[in-house]
Amino acid sequence: MKPLPTLRQLRYLVAVVDRCHFGQAAEACLVSQSTLSAGLQELEDLLGATLVERTRRSVLPTPLGREIAERARQLLKGAEELVEITRSAADPMSGALHLGVIPTIGPFLIPRVMPALREAFPRLRLYLREDQTARLLGQLNAGKLDAALLALPYPMGDLETEDIAEDRFSFVCPAGHRLDGSDPTQAVTVPSEDLLLLEDGHCLRDHAMAACALDATPHNTAFQGTSLHTLVQMVANGLGVTLLPQMAVDSGILRGLDLAVHPLAGDRPGRRIALAWRRTSGRKETFQRLAEALRAEMTRNDG
């Protein structure tokens, strides 16, 4: 039987390839630099190939080293999922869970639901990572996150998802704007010429444009917000109008500002809030119960 690399050796290789620095890789693996260097040398001897080029000032992965590191990621992720299956069988709602969340959900949803989640699952330790959708999906597929709270529709590949809630859009404009009426329930059709949106990279931008049946290039491109709070301040300063998801409005983002809120004309489209995870993950029961708890809490708050 041929000798095989150990998971520890593969982890050392991945750390070095990711950082191109022995010291930083050793720190990430919680070992000394000499231990990591020796383990990597053992892996090269075992495979009979050079995986990294070493100089006094730098370390550079070889093309073969990069390829093996990429395959090693999949092996390490599979090993971690074996451990997850065992732990979740004993208590699905315990242990650490690394949860990604997009910036247009996190500040508005997390404060609402965290107290209830802590009470319902006291043994579950949630570690949150806020980032844009594309980067969260990359980390999720790489095994760096366990699950992610996202807004759909969005291309999800082979990930499994469970819807949590519908999040409708509302039209927001300065009080006295030509589209503002005395009746806050009056539906409006959003003008594209002064519509302010988030900058490229935020999926809410695409969802908002779809809600208004706009093309990919709104007329007002001089001002693009980096967050919903920035958009609100732009509108308050008379720079245009915008669309906000209902969860942001409910959180009080407009509090203290002389702004008007109206529903959209038509069927008031919006986005779907969903929890996503790898189809191969061994913690499916954990994610389903978490999604159920989030759904129940949002329904209770909305009621």
Note whether 229 and 254 are same-domain residues. yes
DSSP H or E stretch at residue 34: helix 33-47
What does the alpha-carbon distance between residue 189 and residue 171 come to, in Å, rounded to a whole number?
A: 9
Look up residue 180 and give its amino acid. Answer: D
Cβ atoms of 40 and 9 within 8 Å: the answer is yes
For residue 93, the model assigns a pLDDT of 87
Nearest to 257 by CA among 186, 172, 194, 188: 172
For residue 139, the model assigns a pLDDT of 93
For residue 186, the model assigns a pLDDT of 58
Burial class (CB in 10 A: 0-12, 13-18, 19+), 113: buried
Q: How many domains does the chain have?
A: 3
Residue 47 is assigned to a structural domain of this protein: yes
Q: Terminus-to-terminus CA distance in the chain, angstroms?
A: 63
For residue 273, the model assigns a pLDDT of 93
pTM, two decimals, is 0.70
Strand ranges (E), the chain = 52-54, 59-61, 95-101, 124-130, 147-152, 159-174, 195-198, 224-225, 241-245, 259-263, 270-278
Note whether 195 and 233 are same-domain residues. yes
Note whether 118 and 252 are same-domain residues. no
Residue 144 is assigned to a structural domain of this protein: yes
Walking along the chain (303 residues) 10 residues at a time, the average pLDDT comes out as 90 93 92 93 93 84 93 88 73 88 92 92 92 93 92 90 91 79 60 73 73 55 72 88 89 90 73 93 91 89 59
Q: What is the CATH number of the domain that holds 279?
A: 3.40.190.10
For residue 196, the model assigns a pLDDT of 84
End-of-domain residue from the set 65, 86, 107: 86
Extract the tokens encoding 103: 């910036």
Note whether 281 and 161 are same-domain residues. yes
Look up residue 118 and give its amino acid. Answer: R
Nearest to 127 by CA among 150, 102, 95: 95
CB count, 10 Å around CB of 72?
Answer: 21
* Residue found under tokens 């000798």: 3
Look up residue 128 and give its amino acid. Answer: L
Q: Which domain holds residue 279?
A: 94-165+272-300
End-of-domain residue from the set 31, 60, 86: 86
End-of-domain residue from the set 33, 60, 86: 86
For residue 38, the model assigns a pLDDT of 94
Q: What value does the CA radius of gyration of the chain take, rounded to a whole number of Å?
A: 24
For residue 79, the model assigns a pLDDT of 86
Extract the tokens encoding 169: 């859009």
Residue 228 is assigned to a structural domain of this protein: yes
Residue 147 is assigned to a structural domain of this protein: yes
Note whether 65 and 98 are same-domain residues. no
Note whether 160 and 296 are same-domain residues. yes
Note whether 174 and 237 are same-domain residues. yes
What backbone phi and psi angles, to 5 degrees, belong to 207?
Answer: -65, -40
Q: What is the CATH number of the domain that holds 78?
A: 1.10.10.10
Query: Per DSSP, what are the bridge partners of residue 289?
Result: none
Residue 157 is assigned to a structural domain of this protein: yes
For residue 192, the model assigns a pLDDT of 62
For residue 89, the model assigns a pLDDT of 67
